[in-house]
């Protein structure tokens, strides 16, 4: 069997801790493409950020896709169109947001639409999302959010927010996942990276889950690493991800783990071809 697609997480996996793409990883992605292996960015990040990164990686042309917001959106980069999306029900979510922000006024809050983001009053966070239109409130918005996030370096505070959200689930209409040790994401029910990959390959129609290699570092990568044909955890991954992975890289995200992954996949394809 030949592996046809690599699904890669971004932060903590493809990028280093400074959120920089190394030249070594960039060249490795080009090498994968030259071997006719698709490379799909699959991240909790927004679609605009992933399209910008895809451009930096020269992931362009027919058959180029990104999976954003932990799987809530699948985007066809070449045709500039959304091929799948699922959103949070704004009516119930807005009430929960108001309660949390009153109870934890110092918590960092973000709420995403496609090209817009609402952020609590944190200058450094607003600067980070400067490529999006920053809105002051959700009033008069005609669309539901795609993802909301609560961030805090205080782990106990985040646990309290998580507990409140779990106890407040209304009609089971959202899921929770940690995309970083300090970031709790609220996403549409049933959304995860594995399910998004299944929808993508159904759209592509010539790749199976067994032919996919998935790589990540955090809790929101567990399903896709577990359900892909070959699952990889980078060396800096959380322990729960390492437990379900078929392979753990020797290198971490600061030392070109993705280059190691791509070299291994190409080597596996050559070995499988010879069998």
List the CATH code of the domain at 5-85+191-274.
3.40.50.1000
What's the pLDDT at 10?
A: 98
Q: Which fold has domain 90-188?
A: 3.30.1240
CA-CA distances (angstroms) from residue 200 to 17, 32, 173, 183, 206?
29, 19, 23, 26, 10
Low-confidence ranges of the chain (pLDDT < 50): 140
- Kindly report, residue by residue over 187-232, the tens digit of the pLDDT: 999 999 999 999 999 999 999 999 999 999 999 999 999 999 999 9
pTM (2 d.p.): 0.90
User: In the chain, where are the structural domains located?
Assistant: 5-85+191-274, 90-188
- Kindly report, residue by residue over 86-110, the tens digit of the pLDDT: 998 777 777 788 889 899 888 988 8
The edge-to-edge listing of strands for the beta sheet with 183-188 is 133-135, 116-119, 108-112, 147-151, 183-188, 174-180
Beta bridge partners of 187: 175
What's the pLDDT at 274?
A: 62
Three-state DSSP string of 140-167: CCCCCCCEEEEECCCHHHHHHHHHHHHH
What's the pLDDT at 248?
A: 98
Alpha helices by DSSP H, listed for 59-154, are: 90-103, 123-128
Beta bridge partners of 151: 108, 183
What's the pLDDT at 158?
A: 93
What's the pLDDT at 96?
A: 83
């Amino acid at each position: 069997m030949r592996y046809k697609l690599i699904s890669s997480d971004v932060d903590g996996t493809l990028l280093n801790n400074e959120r920089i793409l190394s030249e070594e990883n960039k060249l490795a992605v080009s090498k994968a493409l030259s071997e006719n292996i698709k490379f799909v960015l699959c991240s909790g990040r927004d679609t605009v950020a992933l399209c910008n990164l895809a451009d930096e990686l020269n992931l362009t042309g027919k058959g180029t896709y990104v999976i954003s917001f932990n799987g809530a959106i699948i985007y066809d980069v070449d045709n500039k169109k959304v091929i799948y999306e699922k959103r949070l029900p704004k009516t119930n979510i807005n009430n929960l947001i108001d309660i949390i922000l009153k109870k934890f006024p110092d918590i960092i809050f973000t709420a995403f639409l496609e090209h817009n983001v609402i952020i609590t009053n944190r200058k450094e966070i607003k600067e980070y999302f400067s490529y999006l239109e920053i809105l002051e409130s959700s009033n008069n918005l005609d669309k539901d959010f795609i993802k909301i996030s609560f961030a805090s370096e205080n782990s106990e505070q985040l646990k309290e927010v998580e507990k409140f959200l779990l106890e407040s689930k209304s009609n089971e209409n959202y899921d929770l996942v940690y995309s970083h040790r300090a970031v709790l994401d609220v996403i549409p029910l049933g959304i995860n990276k594995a399910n998004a990959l299944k929808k993508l390959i159904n759209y592509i129609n010539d790749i199976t889950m067994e032919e996919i290699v998935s790589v990540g570092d955090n809790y929101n990568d567990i399903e896709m690493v577990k359900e892909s044909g070959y699952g990889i955890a980078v060396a800096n991954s959380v322990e729960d991800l390492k437990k379900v992975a078929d392979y753990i890289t020797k290198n971490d995200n600061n030392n070109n783990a993705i280059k190691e992954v791509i070299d291994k996949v190409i080597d596996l394809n050559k070995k499988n071809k010879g069998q």
